[in-house]
Structure formats: structure tokens, C-alpha cells
Amino acid sequence: MIDEKVAGKTFSLDELCLLTGFPKRTVRYYIQLGLVSRPIGEARGAKYADEHLGQLLRVKKLSSDGVSLERIKEILAGGDSPVPHRLRRPGAVDVRSHIYVAPGVEIQIDPKEAGLTPEQLRGLVGELMRFLGGIAEEGTAEKSAESGAFAEGVLAEEDESRK
């Protein structure tokens, strides 16, 4: 996770912010919350090691996955690492792809939760459309066979009534 070039090195707050993409204020806030260890030294002379960089990158990853800071703190303290599925609450916003496949058939996919690339999603939809096309062809063949049998039955009844 941490590049060999920075392993074992110490960083100033500015360098750490540059490497993580966090503003100084956010790094200080995460230290205050206990998400990141305190720096080595005090004030302007404070230094940060690759341990701090790793902690910040882990917080960034979990945060971008939608994990709350409270839950991140639990995970970093040794709690269960797998993030439990969040229950939807009233007013929660979910972004989903809504795909029209065929008349009466639509699917909704949560891109993050499904973990499918756009290519995989297109492949899934293509396979589903082929599958539904096959069912439609079978249904058409069955209907024509049924209507043919029905027509034969009607004709047979008419022949019987004529005798």
C-alpha cells in the first residue's frame, strides 16, 4: 500500500497532506479523533512516519467506501474489518442503474454493491436479453402448437357434428 520510496521516511505535515490529498485541518482532526497516531515531536517540528501515512490512506479508503468516522475508528482499533451492509433510512439516497431489458423486464443495479465493471454489466444485460429472446421464441412455438392443436380439435368436432 505504501510505496517503497516513502517507507521508513519521515514527513512534515505539508508533505503528508500532499501524499494523502487531505488538508492540514483534516489531518489534525483525525489525530484529535484518534483515527491517526499523534506525530513524533511537537508543533512545527512534528514529523510523521509511514505509519501515519498508512493510517491516513486507510481512513481515506474506508471513508470513500461510505464508512462513518465512528465505524472507521472501531475498525482501526481492531474491530471487525468487513463493513456491514448499511440499512437504508428514510431520506437516504441510493444511486442505481435502471436498465430496460425487454417489455415488462427492467433491472436495477447498484454499481458499487454489485462490483461489476461497465463491460461486465453490458455482458450481463446482453446475456439476459438473449435468454429472454430464447424464452420468447419457445413461447411463440408453444403458442402456435397450442393454437394448431386447438384448431385441429375444432375441426374434428365440426366433422363429428356433420356426420
pTM: 0.47
Bridge partners (DSSP) listed for residue 37: none
CATH of the domain at 58: 1.10.1660.10
Instruction: Specify whether 64 is located in the same domain as 107.
Output: no
Check residue 4 and report its DSSP letter: T
Whether 153 is in a domain gets the answer yes
Phi, psi for residue 20 in degrees, rounded to 5: -100, -20
Residue 147 Cα distances to 28, 143, 154, angstroms: 77, 6, 10
Residues 4-53 pLDDT 10s: 555 568 899 999 999 999 999 999 999 999 999 999 888 777 899 999 99
Specify the pLDDT at position 157. 54
| 143 in the same domain as 113 | yes
Domain identity same for 105 and 157 = yes
Are residues 123 and 158 part of one domain? yes
Overall domain count for the chain: 2
Q: Answer yes or no: is 4 within a domain.
A: no
Tell me the CB-side half-sphere exposure of residue 86, using CA atoms within 13 A: 13
Range of the domain at 144: 97-162
Q: What band does 154 get if pLDDT is binned at 50, 70 and 90?
A: very low
Q: Are residues 70 and 105 in the same domain?
A: no
